[in-house]
Amino acid sequence: MNAINVAINGYGTIGKRVADAVDAQEDMEVVGVTKTAPSFGCNLAIRKGFPLYCTSDDPKRISAFEKAGIECQGGLSDLLSIADVVVDCSPGKVGAENLDKYKDAGVKHIFQGGEEHSLTGLSYTSCANHYENLGADGTRVVSCNTTGLSRTLIPLFEACGSLKVECTMIRRAADPGDSKKGPINAIKPVLKIPSHHGSDVMTVKSGIEINSLAVAVPTTIMHVHAIVADLPDNHGLTTESIVELWRETPRVIVMLGEGNRLTTTAEVMEMARDMGRKWGDLHEIFVWEDGVKLVGNRLYYFQAIHQESDVIPENVDCIRALMGTEHDWRSSVANTDAAISRYYSL
């Protein structure tokens, strides 16, 4: 079978990670990545051997790369002409401007969580709705927070048939490489209530009833979710069986906080750096085992999300869904994760 030709439009925080994850897979190839203008990120693409293109077709903008001594293969249209699928990793709300370019080029397209669900009318999380996305022309991989909520809530929903969830998202203020955002010494509540995170889960799993609140706090390394979920009567679950369920769920790590001295996001990220993935990424959702408690029908738990990386393997599975090359989400997840592990152990 021929490899799937994948273009990455926007080689920033998410784009550079998606490019590596795609490069790790045997059934896909990175045919090019884009940058808006010469910058330090171009050197990474070139070192990796990814053909570099400009996000624009404007000859002046393309020649700016050559002037800066950076080899540029052409504009976005040139890249789309050789791609089967494009993963749009442009900044939030900017991706929408690219939709018509993808449609005109007849290229399948995947947007990120910064875009609205209505842009494609379809969203994606590996464990929620891989099957619904099979063969689609375009979709959106939901945000890092929605991916995190889906990873633990969907297996729970499937185990007990219904769920009513209230959750608070304690969000990092900015990514570590971002100098423009804040707050730096304040807690900033999202005053739009409920926040969009809960309803976003329903774009991939409509059966879960969920509301969310959000606050931004001065940290750059992770989000934390404080979750309260009401299970139906006769759910038959215990705290221990829920922990066991998540242990068996792909891309979820459940560990004791106290016993392992992993009681804060700083230590969780230090453990992630020990795992040896590039940029110290943690694709898995981290659940503190000693913070899980079922009281009657009400479940309480905390989880931590590495915002820059949990969506990365989802993009790889999503490529297979759109291309219709893998119908079983579990099999795609297993292949994606094994390939990424091999890639970083070389």
In whole angstroms, the minimum distance from the beta carbon of 258 to ligand NAD comes to 29
Burial tier of 26 (Cβ tally within 10 Å: 0-12, 13-18, 19+): exposed
Q: Calculate the dihedral angle through the C-alpha atoms of 35, 30, 306, 327, rounding to the nearest 10 degrees.
A: 140
In whole angstroms, the minimum distance from the beta carbon of 292 to ligand NAD comes to 25
Can residue 112 be called a binding residue for ligand NAD (CB under 6 A)? yes
Nearest CA to 315 out of 336, 331, 335, 334 is that of: 336
**Chosen residue from 7, 8, 12, 315 binding ligand NAD by CB under 6 A:** 12
Can residue 14 be called a binding residue for ligand NAD (CB under 6 A)? yes
What ranges make up the beta strands (E) of 41-155? 52-54, 85-88, 108-111, 138-140
**Chosen residue from 23, 175, 270, 290 binding ligand NAD by CB under 6 A:** 175
**Chosen residue from 9, 303, 315, 335 binding ligand NAD by CB under 6 A:** 9
Can residue 90 be called a binding residue for ligand NAD (CB under 6 A)? yes
252 phi and psi, to 5 degrees?
-130, 130
| CB distance 14 to 44 below 8 Å | no
Can residue 32 be called a binding residue for ligand NAD (CB under 6 A)? no
Q: Which is nearer to ligand NAD, 90 or 249 (CB)?
A: 90
In whole angstroms, the minimum distance from the beta carbon of 260 to ligand NAD comes to 26
Q: Which is nearer to ligand NAD, 80 or 294 (CB)?
A: 80
In whole angstroms, the minimum distance from the beta carbon of 235 to ligand NAD comes to 32
Token code pair at residue 205: 């799993």
Burial tier of 69 (Cβ tally within 10 Å: 0-12, 13-18, 19+): exposed
Is 144 catalytic? The answer is yes
Can residue 265 be called a binding residue for ligand NAD (CB under 6 A)? no
Q: Which is nearer to ligand NAD, 218 or 291 (CB)?
A: 218
Can residue 11 be called a binding residue for ligand NAD (CB under 6 A)? yes
In whole angstroms, the minimum distance from the beta carbon of 332 to ligand NAD comes to 19
280 phi and psi, to 5 degrees?
65, 30
Q: Which residue is nearest to ligand NAD (CB)?
A: 12
Question: What does the DSSP assignment read for 286-310?
Answer: EEEGGG-EEETTEEEEEEEE-TTTT
Nearest CA to 98 out of 118, 117, 119, 78 is that of: 119
Q: Quick one: how far is CA 143 from the chain centroid?
A: 6
Three-class secondary structure of residue 131 per DSSP: helix
Can residue 200 be called a binding residue for ligand NAD (CB under 6 A)? no
In whole angstroms, the minimum distance from the beta carbon of 101 to ligand NAD comes to 9
Q: Which is nearer to ligand NAD, 57 or 175 (CB)?
A: 175
Q: What share of the chain is helix, strand, coil (3-state, %, to 5)?
A: 40, 20, 40
Can residue 123 be called a binding residue for ligand NAD (CB under 6 A)? no
Active site residues: 144
Query: Footprint of ligand NAD on this chain (CB under 6 A)?
Result: 9-15, 34-36, 55, 89-92, 94-95, 98, 112-115, 143-144, 175, 307-308, 311
